[in-house]
Amino acid sequence: MTDAADEIARLRAALAAADTRAVAAEAELAQARAAVSTSEAMIAALKLEIALLRRDKYGHGAERTSRLDQLELQLEELVADAAEVKARADQAADKATKVAAFERRRPVKKSFPEHLPRERVVVEAPTTCSCCGSDRIVKMGEDVTETLEVIPRQWKVIQTVREKFTCRVCESEGMPANGSRAARTSQPPAPFHPIPRGWAGPSLLAMIVFEKYGQHLPLNRQAERYAREGVELSLSTLADQVGAVAELLKPLHALIEAHVMAAERLHGPSR
């Protein structure tokens, strides 16, 4: 019985050792895949940088623009794949204690822009010492971790209420001399709209026009995105707003044109 028990223990130890070697081999393979994936992403980034430098040197062209778009998409996919492979490699390294986690080269993190508002969330501090349990603890400093967050775009309807008031004195004295019943009532003037009798606010108009001309996002794509956000705006409705804004900005366009044309020399891209 003793020999059989020893043999079973020996077999269990050998099986455990084999499992450990298998986990270590799997972790090493994951690290190698992570290194290869990161290298491919770095190569794609360098290719994109070279293409951008060539475009700056030789100018824009349909072929160069198409190639840049392809390289940007390729880089995006490779970087995402590298992050996914690294996550799997880290998980495998946690299981194998003898394999160090693969550290992917990361760009130097820049501090977040100073103009962004800061929301300070203070984690509740302990009231007693975690070692001895004493309540005689004194704050010696703090560690601040910054996380960049975004608030999803919110749509809202602004209801501008203009209350009407009637004059009891005018009512008691009868109709005014001009015979107008409206003279009895008082009401604030209507709110200002960039487009007369328009329904879109200035921020919405600015967003539609900027995304069309600044971000090169067609109106049909904008309409699809707004619909996904719960606001149905047809293509013709958006086009009407763009046309009205273009007409509204004509005086500003004329001033800018006059200022530009007044220069002695103009520079522009070569055809």
Kindly state the average pLDDT of the residues 93-103: 57
Whole-angstrom distance, CA of residue 253 vs CA of residue 265: 20
* pLDDT at position 23 over 90: no
Average pLDDT, the chain: 80
CB atoms near residue 44 (< 10 Å): 20
State whether residue 123 is helix, strand or coil.
coil
Of 34, 35, 33, 30, give the one whose Cα is nearest residue 94: 30
**pTM for this structure?**
0.57
170, 176 Cβ separation under 8 angstroms: yes
In this prediction, residue 207 carries a pLDDT of 95
pLDDT in tens, 42-87: 777 777 777 777 777 666 666 666 777 777 777 767 676 676 667 7
Strand residues in the chain grouped as ranges (E):
165-166, 185-186
What's the CA gap between 223 and 235, in Å, rounded? 6
pLDDT at 211: 94
- Assign 197 a pLDDT band (cuts: 50, 70, 90): confident
- Which residue, among 67, 41, 42, has the nearest Cα to 54 in the 3D structure? 67
Cβ within 8 Å of residue 193, ≥6 positions away: none
| Side chain identity at residue 271, one-letter code | R
Q: 164 with 186: CB under 8 angstroms?
A: yes
Residue 260: its pLDDT value, please?
92
Tell me, what's the pLDDT at 99? 46
Q: Are 33 and 86 in contact (CB under 8 A)?
A: no
Any idea which of 29-33, 92-96, 211-215, 235-239 has the lowest mean pLDDT? 92-96
pLDDT number for residue 108: 55
Compute the distance between CA of residue 49 and CA of residue 56 in angstroms, rounded to an integer.
11
**DSSP calls for 218-256:** -HHHHHHHHHHTT----HHHHHHHHHHHHHHTHHHHHHH
- More confident position, 108 or 174: 174
Q: How many residues does the structure list for the chain?
A: 271
| Region of poorest pLDDT, from 20-24, 126-130, 142-146 | 20-24
Give the C-alpha separation, 87 to 140, whole Å.
35
Share of the chain above pLDDT 70, in %: 81
160-171 pLDDT, tens digit each = 999 998 888 887
Q: What is the pLDDT of residues 236-258, one digit of tens each?
A: 889 989 999 998 899 999 999 99
